[in-house]
Structure 1
Amino acid sequence: MFNKEKIIKLLSEKGWSAYKLCKKANIPQSTVSDILTGKRKNPTAETLAKIADALGVSVNEFFDNEDIPTEEKSIEKLNKTIKENKIETIAAHFEGEDFTDEDIEDIENFIRFILSKKKK
């Protein structure tokens, strides 16, 4: 759940005013004020991204910890899907080149192996 107190804490740590934040984030002062007073309970993702960028933190910093693992899992799942699509696309370039289905599968597995080595 979004927690405005986390933004307030970051502002305090940096010694920033709400006005300085709105200038650095390039968002209206009324928007920052509404967020910090709780009038705006669910700011848009775009607004939070601008605030996070201005403060030099991840948007995750503005949410209670129990929300983060779910969000990270969603991002992880999306990244895995993107990687799998890339692997399939690369392997598809070899189709029709006298490769059997087993050869294509071997190519896909080799790409996965190479990508797993990059993480280490």
Structure 2
Amino acid sequence: MDKRAELLRKLMEEKNMKVSDIVKKSGLPYSTVKAILERGAEKAGYINVCKICNALGITTDELEKMVSDDTYQPITLAAHFDGDEYTDDEMDEIKQFAEFVKGKRGK
């Protein structure tokens, strides 16, 4: 498997996404997404890779940077709470806020 496909799979795992989730968000056929993840993104069409990246919340430029710089590091987000679990929407909001806070570092 090529590095791009490996990174896409890791990002999916990190975001608790399955192939079917990518299919829903990207509009690509299941077989296309599965083939890219199994056979590699190098031989895939650029538009299809863009759609998968968009479904994962990244750009193709970010994917290429992770590949070339070997900079991918999984994000571990630990939330301690009492009571009910967070919904997927709430977790997305928490992740967005974490990115916002990290973005303020350079200012």
TM-score (norm 2): 0.54
For 1:65, the equivalent position in structure 2 comes to 68
More helix by share: 1
The number of equivalent residue pairs is 67
Whether 1:52 aligns to 2:42 is no
Q: Which has the higher contact order (CA 8 A, sep 6+)?
A: 2
- Cα distance in 2 for residues equivalent to 1:39 and 1:5: 8
C-alpha contact (below 8 Å) 2:23/2:29 kept by paired residues = yes
Whether 1:11 aligns to 2:12 is yes
Matches within 5 A, 1:1-120: 3-38=4-39, 41-63=42-64, 64-65=67-68
- Cα distance in 2 for residues equivalent to 1:40 and 1:57: 15
Structure 2 CA distance for partners of 1:16 and 1:58, relative to 1, 3 Å: same
- Cα distance in 2 for residues equivalent to 1:11 and 1:22: 12
- Cα distance in 1 for residues equivalent to 2:12 and 2:44: 17
Structure 2 CA distance for partners of 1:29 and 1:54, relative to 1, 3 Å: same
> Any gaps of 5 or more consecutive residues in structure 1?
67-120
Structure 2 CA distance for partners of 1:55 and 1:41, relative to 1, 3 Å: same
Structure 2 CA distance for partners of 1:11 and 1:5, relative to 1, 3 Å: same
Shift of the alpha carbon at 1:40? 6.2
Identity %: 29
The CA deviation string for residues 15-62 of structure 1, in whole angstroms up to 9 with x for no partner, is 000111111111000001101111664211111111111111011233
- Cα distance in 2 for residues equivalent to 1:57 and 1:42: 20
> Any gaps of 5 or more consecutive residues in structure 2?
70-107
Structure of larger gyration radius: 1
